Structure 1
């Protein structure tokens, strides 16, 4: 089953059986507004130079993009956090694909605005073996053009669900990144970019493999 199939199955169950109709309407409206805003069109695209960064990893201290790129291509997966079931399904899919990604010589890291404590929780619960980085205040996500503020009615809904992002992210801004995935070549240029203003839709990790194999071949040549 593809990642999107799993996301669709979860969405159908959650929206069809568990979530109140009014809650579903609020979530759908917020997604539609984000799509209509066109913000995804302003995120970094193929051909752009990726911003450099240094972020703390859930278990192993700071990691810099410069050091990671010195090892080979870099796969960046931006996600919302441990509280988001769609993100947890995606983390599992990335973990399943991580060996194939590493086999191309690439490094895979996940980036979210959640605190280190919550990043560590997600990493251990999902048995993730690749680095999970904490992006304080979403600054790196903002540099990639991904950060946005949730609308007030969605903030109130999340709070009613017991999801207080001010606590989860140790940041009162109630901002999140749009889920996104980038492949950055060793020279720092983005060669693959997928941004999902609809957080329930995400590309399959295996979509990265042809791009990474091509990078591997070009380096070998």
Structure 2
């Protein structure tokens, strides 16, 4: 699997490293330690045992468009394979740079294959609209109020109490962005699903500063589209 980025957009991991340098300098060592400790605890806990994995089926769900209209996941995805991206919200800088990278580097390659790309978060429709506007996104960005779909997939979590306290100090509370006014969020997750909703690739990131690289998603699609070997 190639880990090289394109000539135009660096790998997400490289963008994260660059962002973290400036962010740490901006918020100072005390607040940075809180987030570092949170990330360490998340990595240590690992992916939940009941989290979605290949072979599972994605349940049908009613989601909201940025305009507040109800839409089913099935009609959004259509008849072909799809890439589903679960992210925390437009308030999350790691989510924003990831979605922008997928817009620039992943979407064109998915369009060539007839594969849908859909991003899903628990935030309000206004938050989804902010994600679309900030990233100039051309793929569906939907709200999952109450994390109904994220719960069904076993990827619901929430910031630590200490991290939320720092959020407050920085003038932000995730509950103000979520459609159900809670602090619940999904682990950043990418799923590749077949035309029948079967998960063929699942990448759940407990550490929200890490994300699924474009090449990993394309490699999963290559395996999905590869013809089966004839039986001997």
TM-score (norm 2): 0.87
Q: Indicate the SS of the match to 2:90.
A: coil
Closer, same or farther: CA 205–59 of 1 in aligned 2, 3 Å: farther
Match of 1:89 among 86, 91, 97: 97
**Larger deviation, residues 77-86 vs 5-14:** 5-14
Correspondence list, 1:12-31, <5 A:
12-15=21-24, 17-31=25-39
**Does 2:172 correspond to 1:163?**
yes
Deviation at 1:21, TM superposition (A): 1.1
Structure 1, 87-96 or 31-40: larger mean CA deviation: 31-40
User: Conserved in 2, the CA contact under 8 Å of 1:104 and 1:216?
Assistant: no
What is the rounded CA distance, in whole Å, between the counterparts of 1:209 and 1:170 in structure 2?
32
User: Aligned Cα RMSD in Å?
Assistant: 1.9
Q: Which has the higher helix share?
A: 1
Question: Does the 8 Å CA contact 1:165/1:171 hold for their aligned counterparts?
Answer: no
- For the residue of structure 2 that corresponds to 1:20, the secondary structure is helix
In structure 2, the gaps of 5 or more residues are 1-9
Q: 2:129 aligns with which of 112, 117, 120?
A: 120
String of CA shifts for 1:82-111, please: whole Å, max 9, x gaps.
Answer: 111111100111101211112111100000
How many Å separate the matches in 2 of 1:91 and 1:40?
Answer: 24
Tell me what 1:212 maps to: 221
For the pair 1:191 / 2:204, whether they are aligned, the reply is no
Taking the aligned partners of 1:2 and 1:84, their CA distance within structure 2 comes to: 18
2:46 equivalent among 3, 13, 38: 38
Within the candidate set 168, 174, 182, 1:173 is matched to 182
Counterparts of 1:90-109 in structure 2, within 5 Å, are: 90-96=98-104, 97-109=106-118
1:165-208 deviation line (CA, Å, top 9, x unaligned): 12111433211111010001012110011111111111212321
Greater mean deviation of Cα atoms: 22-31 or 80-89? 22-31
Q: CA deviation at 1:136?
A: 0.6
TM score, norm. by length of structure 1: 0.91
Displaced runs of 4 or more, over 6 A: none
For residues 60 and 98 of structure 1, what CA distance do their matches in structure 2 show?
Answer: 24
Q: Flag the 1:166–1:60 CA change in 2: closer, same or farther, 3 A.
A: closer
1:40 deviation in Å? 3.8
Decide whether aligned partners of structure 1 residues 127 and 152 sit closer, same or farther in structure 2, where only a CA change above 3 A counts. same
Give CA-to-partner distance per residue, 1:144-179, whole Å, 9 cap, x none: 111112221111111111111121114332111110
How many equivalent pairs are there?
A: 218
| Equivalence for 2:14 | 5
2:72 equivalent to 1:64: yes
